[in-house]
Amino acid sequence: MAETAEAKAGSPQRKRLLDTLEVDSRLLGMIGAFVVLCLVFNVFTDGRFLTPRNIFNLSIQTVSVALMATGMVFVIVTRHIDLSVGSLLATCSAVMAMTQTVVTPEWLGLGLNHPLTAPIALLFGLICGTAIGAFNGWLVGYLTIPAFIVTLGGLLVWRNVAWYLTNGQTIGPLDSNFVLLGGINGTLGESASWVVGVIAVVAAILALAAGRRSKKAHDFPVKPLWAEAFLAVVIAAVILGFVATLNAYDVPSNRLERMFEARGETMPEGYSTGYGIPYSVLLLILVAIVMTVVARKTRLGRYIFATGGNPDAAELSGINTRLLTVKVFAIMGFLCALSAAVAAARLTFHSNDIGTLDELRVIAAAVIGGTALAGGIGTIYGAILGALIMQSLQSGMAMVGVDAPFQNIVVGSVLVVAVLVDIIYRKRTGAK
Amino acid sequence: MVDRSGTPLVELKDISIAFGGIKAVDHVSVDLYPGEVVGLLGHNGAGKSTLIKCLSGAYRQDSGDVYINGEKATINNPRDARGYNIETIYQTLALADNLDAASNLFLGREIVTPLGLVNESAMEAETRKVMHRLNPNFRKFNAPVSALSGGQRQSVAIARAVYFNARILIMDEPTAALGPAETQMVAEIIGELKRQGIGIFLIDHDVHQVKRLCDRAAVMKNGELVGGVVEVDKVSTDDLLGMIIAGKTPAHLAA
C-alpha cells in the first residue's frame, strides 16, 4: 500500500523538483539522450568509447561544426537558412592558407613560422568571412532575395572561389602557430587546465549569485537556497570532471621525447603529462558564452528573437529588420571563418574539399538542438549539444564498425526522428 | 464635453494614397483633439486602416500633410511616429508570440544596464506596475504571450502604447476578438485614457460600439469621407449605417 502511494506521488514530486530547480526539461531530455547514446556505444565498443582519449577526440572533432551551429541558431531563428556555410568555410580557409603560405612569407618577407603570421592570417580570414556573410545578409535583407536561394547560390560560388584561390591544390603545411588552434597540436596542459576549470566554476557561481541578487532587488520569487546550491554543485562537478578527463589523456611518450629534444633537454625517466583543454575547445566555450549573452542579454538578441517570432511586429516596433538580417548573416560569416581556422589547423593543411557537407551538419545540429525552422525558438547550448550528439553518433558508429552507408542512414533518420520527438514534446507541454 | 477651441492634436489634411491605380484614400481630412475619441467607420477596404497607417508610419501618403499640435510632421516609418508620441495598437496586436509580456512591452525600447545589456528584472518590474494599473488580474508575466487569452494579449498591447507616454493613440478594432467582459475592460481603459487628455483614433466596424465610446465619427466609403466628421450624439445608429452602407449623408446634417 505504502509503496503504491509513494509511486503515485513520485511523478508530480519529481516535476515539482524540476520546477524548483528551474531547469529546462527539454535540455534535460537532450542530455539524457546523449548520456544513453554514450553508454550504449561504450558497451558495444567494450569500453573504448568513454575513454579520456576518445572524449578528447570527440570534443575537438565537434568544435568546427558547433562553432557554426551557434551562428546558425540566429539565422534559423530569424526564419532564414544558410546553405553556404561549408563553402564559406572553404573560402575562408583558402584565404587564410594562402595568406600564411604566400602573402606573409613572400610578399611581406616575414619568412616561415613568423610570430605575426598566424594573427595576420586569422585576421584576413575573419574579415573575409564577416564581409561575405554581410553581403549575403544584404542580398537577403535589402534586396529581399530568399535566403534559401542566396545561400544555395553561395554554396556553389564560395566552394569554387576557394578552388580558384588555391588552384585546387592542397595548401600545407600551415604555420606552426596557426595549427595550435586545431586541437591536439595546441592544448593548455594540466595545470593551466585546472586554473581555467576553477575560474569557470567561480564564474558560474558568481553568475548564479548575481541572478539571484537581481531578482531579489525587484522582489521577485527566488529559488530556495538549497536548489541554487545543488545547481552550483552539479555545474562545478561537470566542469571539473571534464577538465579531469581531458587531463587524464596522456601525451604519448615518444611525442613527449620529441618535445624535450626540440628544447635541447632530455626527458626525465617515467615523466608523463596530460593534454588538458585544447585551445579550440576553449574557443568554442568562449564563443558559446558570448553568443548566449548576445541572445539573452542584448538588444540585438532580443530583436533577433522578436523578428523570428513575428517579423511584422518587430518592424512595427521600430526595429530595422533589414539591417538585423545583415548583422545575423555577418555573425554567421565570422563564425564560419573561425570554424575554418579550427578545421584547417586540425588537418594542418587546407584541402579543396574542406567543409564539404558541413552546411547540412550545422543545420542538423541546430535543429536537433531544438531550433525551430518556423523561427523564434532556439538556444545556443542546444545547438552545441546537437553538434556533440551528431559527432558522437558518427564516431561511435565508426568505432563499433557500422558500415559507412548505414552510418549516414542512421544519422539522417536520427535527424528526422529528433524533430518528430521535438514536435510531440512541444504539443504535450503546450508550448508552440 | 471635449474642448475643441485650441489647436487640434492631429490634423490629417487632404490625404491621398493609391495602390496601383486604385485610390485607397481619396482627399480625406480628419482632425483629433486632446481627450477626444474619434471613430473611423467603414466597410472592409473602405480605406480607414490605410488612412490611419499614414499616421502610424506603416505607409507614406502620396499627397496631403499630417500636422501634429499645429506643426507639420514628417512620418516615414513607425520609429518617426513614436518620436511624435503616436502609439498604435494594431488589429493583429503586433506582438512577438514567442516572447513574454515584458519583452513585448519594451520591444524596440529596452531598458539597459550601464554595460548595455538588457535589464530584464527592471523591465519585468515596470511591466508589473503598468499591468497592475490596466488589468489587475494579469499574472502570466513569465509565459510567452502566445499562452495568453485574447483580452490579456490586448492589455499587453495597450500597456505598450500607454507606458511610453502616448499623446495620440490609434486603436484598430481593439475589441474585435474579445468577449463581453474583456470588451468592457477595454472600454474602461479608453475612458481612463481620455481623462488623461490622450487623443484616440478608434477604427471599428460596430456602430453601437462607436456610439458608445466615441465623441465624433468619420465614415469612409471607397476611399472617401462621407459627410465629414460628425458628432456621434447628433446621429443615430441608423444614420451611421446609412453612411457606411449607402454612402449617404443624413438629411439633417447635409442641410
CB A192 within 8 A of CB A374: no
Q: What does A165-204 look like in DSSP terms, one character per residue?
A: HHTT--B-SPPTTGGGGGSTTSB--HHHHHHHHHHHHHHH
Inter-residue contact A108 to A175 (CB < 8 Å): no
Domain ranges of chain A: 51-183+283-429, 187-277
Report H helices in A78-110: 85-98
- What pLDDT shows up at residue A65? 96
B199-203, strands of its sheet edge to edge: B86-89, B168-172, B199-203, B37-42, B216-221, B224-231
> Are A142 and A72 spatial neighbours (Cβ–Cβ below 8 Å)?
no
Q: Name which of B8, B10, B39 is nearest B233 in CA terms.
A: B39
Task: Check residues A88 and B22 and name the one with the higher pLDDT.
Answer: A88
Mean pLDDT across A202-231: 84
Instruction: List the one residue out of B175, B171, B177 whose CA is nearest residue B194.
Output: B171
**Residue B145 · residue B153 · CB < 8 Å:** yes
Q: Has residue A2 got a pLDDT over 70? A: no
- Taking residue A86's Cβ as centre, other Cβ atoms within 10 Å add up to 27
Between the alpha carbon of residue A67 and those of residues A362, A387, A408, B229, the distances in Å are 9, 9, 22, 61
Asked if residue B65 is part of any domain, the answer here is yes
Same-domain check for residues B171 and B160: no
Task: Tell me what pLDDT residue B231 has.
Answer: 83
Q: Are residues B40 and B67 in the same domain?
A: yes
Residues B19 and B73 occupy one common structural domain? yes
Closest of B38, B7, B14 to residue B170, by C-alpha: B38
The answer to whether the CB atoms of B112 and A299 lie below 8 A apart is: yes
A339 Ramachandran zone, left/alpha/beta (phi>0; psi -120 to 50): alpha
More confident residue, A143 or B21: A143
> B87 to chain A: nearest residue by CA?
A317
A411 CA to chain B: closest CA distance, Å?
30
Q: Centre a 10 Å sphere on the Cβ of residue A421 and count the other Cβ atoms it contains.
A: 14
In a domain, B211, yes or no: yes
- Are the beta carbons of B144 and A318 separated by less than 8 Å? no
Per-residue pLDDT, B174: 81
Yes or no, beta carbons of A293 and B58 under 8 Å apart: no
The answer to whether A69 and A386 are in contact (CB under 8 A) is yes
Query: What does residue B69 show for φ and ψ, rounded to 5 degrees?
Result: 50, 35
Q: Which of B28, B94, B109 is CA-nearest to residue B64?
A: B28
Domain end marker among B106, B135, B165? B165
Write the ipTM. 0.80
In angstroms, the separation between the Cα of residue B106 and the nearest Cα of chain A is 9
Q: Which residues of chain A are within 8 Å of residue B147 when distances are taken between CB atoms? A: 430
Residue B58 shares a structural domain with residue B76: yes
Contact between A306 and B112 using a beta-carbon 8 Å cutoff: no
Residue A248 has pLDDT above 60, yes or no: yes
Both B75 and B186 in one domain: the answer is: yes
Q: Read off the pLDDT band of A431 (50, 70, 90).
A: low
- The answer to whether the CB atoms of B78 and A315 lie below 8 A apart is yes
Cβ within 8 Å of A, B 114-143? 116-118, 120-122, 124-125
- Shared domain check, B171 and B81: yes
Minimum distance, in Å, between the CA of residue A43 and any CA atom of chain B: 41
Report the chain A residue with the minimal C-alpha distance to residue B147: A431
Element (H, E) at A211: helix A190-217
Please count the other Cβ atoms lying within 10 Å of the Cβ belonging to residue A164. 10
Q: What single letter denotes the amino acid at residue B73?
A: A
pLDDT in tens, A327-356: 999 999 999 999 999 999 999 999 999 999
Q: CA B51 to CA A377: how far, in whole Å?
A: 35
Among B98, B120, B124, the residue with its CB nearest the CB of A309 is B98
Preceding omega of A224 cis (within 30 degrees of 0): no
Q: What is the pLDDT of residues A108-139, one digit of tens each?
A: 878 778 888 899 999 999 999 999 999 999 99
What pLDDT does A373 receive? 87
User: Which residues are CB-contacts of A261 (< 8 A; sequence separation ≥ 6)?
Assistant: none
pLDDT tens string A6-57: 444 444 455 566 666 667 777 888 889 899 999 999 999 998 899 999 999 9
Which 86-115 residues of chain B touch chain A by CB within 8 A?
88, 90, 92-99, 103-104, 107-110, 112
For position A16, what pLDDT does the model report? Answer: 64
Please tell me the distance from the alpha carbon of residue A386 to that of residue A364, in angstroms, as a whole number.
8
> Residue B26 domain-assigned?
yes
**Phi and psi of A385, rounded to 5°?**
-65, -40
| pLDDT in the model for residue A184 | 81
Amino acid, single-letter form, for residue B97: D
Question: What percent of chain A shows pLDDT beyond 90?
Answer: 55
Distances (CA, A) of B232 to A10, B2, B209: 64, 12, 11
Are residues B119 and B173 located together in one domain of the fold? no
pLDDT of residue A201: 93
pLDDT grade for A430, boundaries at 50, 70 and 90: low
- The CB density around residue B224, as the number of other CB atoms within 10 Å, is 16
* Radius of gyration, alpha carbons of chain B: 19
pLDDT of residue A107: 85
User: Domain check: are B251 and B234 in the same one?
Assistant: yes
Please tell me the distance from the alpha carbon of residue B76 to that of residue B126, in angstroms, as a whole number.
30
Query: Helix, strand or coil for residue A405?
Result: helix
| B120 contacts on A by Cβ (under 8 Å) | 214, 297
Q: Which of A305, A318, A377 sits opposite B79 (nearest CB)?
A: A318
Instruction: Give yes or no: residues B198 and B229 share one domain.
Output: yes
In a domain, B205, yes or no: yes
Closest CA to B158 of B101, B116, B108, B209: B101
Nearest residue on chain B to A318, judged by CA atoms?
B79
- Verify whether the Cβ–Cβ distance B144 to A302 is below 8 Å: no
Residue B67 maps to a domain: yes
Residue B187 and residue B79 in one domain: yes
How much is the average pLDDT of A304-324?
A: 90
Same domain? For B116 and B190 the reply is no
pLDDT for A20 equals: 67
The rounded mean pLDDT for chain A is 88
Average pLDDT per consecutive 10 residues, chain B (255 residues; last block may be shorter): 80 89 88 91 84 87 89 87 87 84 89 87 88 80 85 85 86 81 83 87 86 88 84 82 79 65
Position A163 scores a pLDDT of 94
Number of domains making up chain B = 2
If asked whether residues B65 and B187 sit together in one domain, one would say: yes
Q: What is the DSSP letter of A105?
A: I
How many beta-carbon contacts under 8 Å exist across A and B? 89
Average pLDDT score over residue span A292-313:
93
Higher pLDDT, A422 or A383: A383
Q: Which of B110, B133, B165 is the last residue of a domain?
A: B165
Which of residues B115, B141, B165 is at a domain's end? B165
Asked whether residue B7 is domain-assigned, the answer is yes
Print the domain residue range for B123.
97-165
